[in-house]
Amino acid sequence: MDDFQTSPRDPVGWHGTTILAVRRGPEVALAGDGQVSLGQTVIKANARKVRRIGASGAVLAGFAGATADAFTLLERLEAKLERFPNQLERACVELARDWRTDRYLRRLEAMMIVADRDHSFTLTGNGDVLEPEDGVIGIGSGGNYALAAARALLGVDGLSAEEIARRAMRIAADICVYTNHNVIVETLRTDS
């Protein structure tokens, strides 16, 4: 699930993630492909990299990076959401601060996209909590392909956030060898 190049802790170099968030109208969709690769070998084709978190499942989270690192961060984010219910932005800022300053967390190699009814954020180990201007975020090895496709599809009238996410992920999978067509999409309605 890692889209990082080789590092001292990962000399082989794990690859293979595309995560995309699209916010349009009353809907936010978070999509992730299912491919996990090790070098030039597909290890798994149906990994689940997008899920609902939080007490009521009102937050969508997707991750790119080392699997164990990503799960550690998801658990930490869920703890922050318990401490700050219905305050995704504050929970993300608290997690990013811990991630940047804690000696153990600093070593984690992952990125996350999280979204609720009101906000979408990219979280990184550099302490970044970034909200896009246009409601679209892409991370991972195919993230830029999916991001570009989704931005182009925003100009097509009548497409929902989920439809844009699915089409953009298909385009990314056709281009990025570390991304497959086994896409999982989670959606939230922002008007309910």
Q: Locate the DSSP E strands across 46-178.
A: 50-53, 59-65, 110-115, 120-123, 129-130, 136-140
Task: Reduce the DSSP state of residue 27 to 3 states and report it.
Answer: strand
Handedness of CA 188, 117, 170, 129 (dihedral sign): negative
Nearest-10 crossing angle of helices 67-83, 88-101: 130
Q: Strand pairing partners for 140?
A: 18
Q: Is 187 a catalytic residue?
A: no
Catalytic residues: 17
